[in-house]
């Protein structure tokens, strides 16, 4: 079956972004370099998987926008709060973890590299 995998262009901050995501999520990052520039990144940590580079953003003249977000489904409220605290550090808060009213804890932030994260934890239903 086909699937969609996010590909993120980090520009010249690629190495710093890789370090942040490894610190937050653990996992492994397969990185291909051209000198000091990241030309390809394949990041995996459990169910989290995305690719990226620092090359295309400069070549294609891409600009960061708010037309996309990565949704991070968490295993617990504690995990959501931990991920949120670490991703918002140096970034921008949209809204801190809050009870959604529909049975989930949700949060929203943009990290220091311009990536927008929507976090979700579906509370167990009794």
Domain ranges of the chain: 1-60, 68-126
Judge if 1-60 and 68-126 fold alike in CATH terms: no
Q: Map tokens 């550090």 to a residue.
A: 89
CATH code for the part of the protein at 1-60 = 3.10.180.10
Query: Is residue 58 predicted with pLDDT exceeding 60?
Result: no
Q: Whole-model pTM?
A: 0.84
Query: Is residue 112 predicted with pLDDT exceeding 60?
Result: yes
Distance spanning both ends of the chain, measured CA to CA: 34
29 CB burial (10 A radius; 0-12, 13-18, 19+): middle
Query: Is residue 85 predicted with pLDDT exceeding 90?
Result: yes
List pLDDT tens digits, range 87-104. Answer: 999 999 999 999 998 899
Locate 97 and state its tokens: 């973890």
CATH code for the part of the protein at 68-126 = 3.30.720.110
């Amino acid at each position: 079956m086909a699937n969609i995998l996010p590909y993120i262009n980090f520009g010249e901050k690629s190495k710093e972004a890789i370090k942040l995501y490894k610190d937050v999520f653990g996992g492994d990052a397969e990185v291909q370099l051209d000198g000091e520039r990241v030309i390809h990144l394949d990041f995996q940590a459990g169910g989290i998987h995305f690719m990226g580079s620092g090359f295309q953003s400069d070549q294609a003249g891409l600009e960061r926008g708010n037309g996309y977000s990565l949704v991070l489904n968490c295993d617990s409220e504690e995990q959501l709060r931990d991920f949120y605290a670490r991703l918002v550090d140096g970034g921008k808060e949209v809204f801190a973890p809050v009870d959604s009213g529909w049975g989930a804890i949700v949060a929203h932030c943009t990290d220091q590299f311009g990536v927008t994260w929507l976090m979700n934890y579906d509370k167990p239903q009794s």
